């Protein structure tokens, strides 16, 4: 604890070391996490750094204060309940104390009246289950498994009344990887903010772990995942065909798109949609079926493709058609391109019978070959994504992993859009691709 200031050491002693509900002596890195006077902090890096312990200890720091409320979150209730996860860990810490457990609410209540609640956010809409709630501490375990919109929304639940004398804290812990890797890295690693801090933790920072045995176990992983979990490497490349350095973004303006210091007007674009049809429903929780993807594109007269909107779902054919009709009306799409292979042919014909202008998208090559024009166009800086879209991390992760990821439906829809752009405007000149890298 030599690294801590006198003020931080006093806080650690009072809220952790002398706290009858926290039966651990924190590591040096955990001590920093438990005492930083900032509103937002991320703890993690490599696996085995003591992340969950740090989150639970932080949640209990002010549990003697009347009115104090803490919330700990995972992606699912199963994640909370696994051996050595947050709920079993809290039970081992608190079962012999005077705290009372309510299994129906997944909540501990303390003699002070303070509470510690365990919750989950399985989908983006789950964030609204906390609408109207008030917490002074919110902790996300494995933050890269959450959408950034859910994380940002929970800040609205972080508040206190004037009689609750505790700091407001948003805390999180995670390893690199996961579908939220990109936004977490941007927020905590790439960007600097005076009220935000990242505390990297390695295996070697946890003296309670058999480091040699765990490091040996990690050697069985693929190189990228091993680099992420063993060394906490946020820049480990997924070794896919789409390089994250190629990703470009836009912001909407009143009359068009802002791409860097340029403006692309709506009037200079033609709009269309691409639909990659899977028509599979999520019926078995243990199954991971493909997705149907609908992407709305604006194709600029100067050759850029701008992804206006995206919908993705595991639904039946009638629901796919309903979503296509909704997006057509919402975005005033003149025509929709539908993958004409397999089940997509049925969707194509049905939408035509409804009077829509439909163009068949022919899957006349394998997925990797079909994606080549998209790779070239993206490397040349001619494909742009909306920087604040909820679904952006899922898309970027799928692109970065392609063709080795679990899914490629978003890539397929994008490849069809790029193929249309190439037929309409010709291939991107090689000089343009080279210039984008200079």
User: Which DSSP state fits 410?
Assistant: H
Grade residue 224 by pLDDT with cuts at 50, 70 and 90.
low
Residue 250 has pLDDT above 60, yes or no: yes
Q: Residue 405 CA to chain centroid, in angstroms?
A: 16
Q: Is the pLDDT of residue 301 over 70?
A: yes
Q: How confident is residue 284, by pLDDT bands cut at 50, 70 and 90?
A: very low
In order, the DSSP letters of 77-144 are HHHHHSTTSHHHHHHHHHTTSS-EEETTTTEEE-TTS-EEEEEE-SSGGGGGGGTT--BSEEEEESGG
The confidence score (pLDDT) of residue 234 equals 76
Give the whole-angstrom CA distance, residue 222 versus residue 355. Answer: 49
Other Cβ atoms closer than 10 A to 320: 25
Flag whether pLDDT at 286 surpasses 50. no
Domains plus CATH for the chain?
Answer: 6-231 (3.40.50.300), 244-436 (3.30.420.240)
433 confidence band (pLDDT: 50, 70, 90): very low
Mean pLDDT rounded to a whole number for the chain: 87
CA dist., res. 57 & res. 137, Å (int)? 11
pLDDT of 22-65, one tens digit each?
A: 999 998 889 999 999 999 999 986 555 588 999 999 999 999 99
pLDDT at 223 over 60: no
Walk across the sheet containing 196-201 and list its strands.
100-102, 107-109, 115-120, 69-74, 137-141, 169-174, 40-45, 196-201
Residue range 85-144, pLDDT digits in tens = 999 999 999 999 999 999 999 999 999 999 999 999 987 788 888 988 999 999 999 999
pLDDT for 299: 97
Give one DSSP letter per residue of 155-217, joined into a string: GGGB---TT--S--EEEEEE-S-STTHHHHIIIIIIS--TTEEEEEE-GGG-TTS-HHHHHHH
Per cent of the chain over pLDDT 70 is: 84
């Amino acid at each position: 604890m030599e690294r801590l200031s006198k003020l931080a050491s006093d806080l650690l002693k009072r809220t952790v070391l002398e706290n009858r509900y926290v039966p651990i002596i924190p590591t040096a890195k955990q001590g920093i996490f438990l005492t930083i006077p900032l509103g937002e902090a991320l703890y993690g890096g490599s696996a085995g750094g003591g992340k969950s312990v740090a989150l639970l200890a932080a949640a209990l720091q002010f549990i003697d204060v009347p009115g104090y409320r803490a919330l700990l979150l995972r992606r699912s209730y199963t994640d909370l309940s696994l051996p050595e996860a947050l709920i079993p860990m809290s039970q081992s810490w608190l079962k012999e104390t005077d705290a009372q457990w309510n299994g129906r609410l997944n909540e501990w209540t303390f003699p002070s009246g303070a509470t510690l609640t365990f919750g989950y956010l399985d989908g983006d809409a789950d964030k609204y289950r906390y609408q109207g709630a008030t917490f002074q501490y919110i902790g996300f375990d494995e933050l890269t498994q959450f959408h950034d919109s859910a994380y940002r929304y929970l800040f609205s639940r972080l508040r206190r009344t004037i009689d609750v004398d505790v700091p407001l804290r948003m805390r999180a812990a995670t390893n690199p990887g996961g579908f939220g890797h990109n936004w977490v890295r941007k927020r905590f690693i790439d960007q600097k903010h005076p009220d935000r801090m990242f505390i990297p933790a390695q295996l070697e920072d946890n003296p309670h772990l058999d480091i040699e045995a765990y490091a040996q176990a990690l050697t069985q992983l693929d190189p990228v995942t091993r680099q992420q979990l063993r060394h906490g490497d946020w820049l480990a490349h997924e070794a896919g065909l789409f390089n994250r350095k190629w990703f470009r973004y836009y912001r909407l303006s009143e009359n068009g798109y802002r791409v860097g210091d340029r403006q692309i007007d709506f009037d200079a674009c033609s709009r269309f949609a691409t639909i990659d049809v899977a028509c599979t429903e999520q019926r078995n929780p243990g199954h991971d079926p493909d997705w149907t993807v609908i992407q709305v594109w604006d194709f600029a007269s100067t050759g850029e493709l701008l992804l206006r909107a995206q919908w993705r779902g595991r639904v039946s054919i009638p629901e796919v058609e309903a979503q296509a009709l909704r997006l057509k009306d919402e975005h005033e799409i003149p025509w929709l391109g539908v993958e004409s292979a397999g089940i997509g042919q049925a969707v194509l014909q049905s939408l035509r019978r409804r009077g829509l202008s439909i163009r068949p998208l022919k899957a006349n090559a394998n997925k990797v070959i079909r994606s080549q024009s998209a790779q070239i166009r993206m490397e040349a800086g001619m494909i742009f994504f909306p920087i604040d879209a909820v679904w952006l991390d899922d898309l970027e992760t799928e692109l970065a992993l392609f063709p080795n990821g679990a899914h490629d439906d978003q890539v397929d829809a994008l490849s069809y859009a790029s193929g249309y752009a190439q037929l309409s405007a010709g291939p991107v000149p090689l000089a343009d691709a080279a210039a984008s890298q200079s």
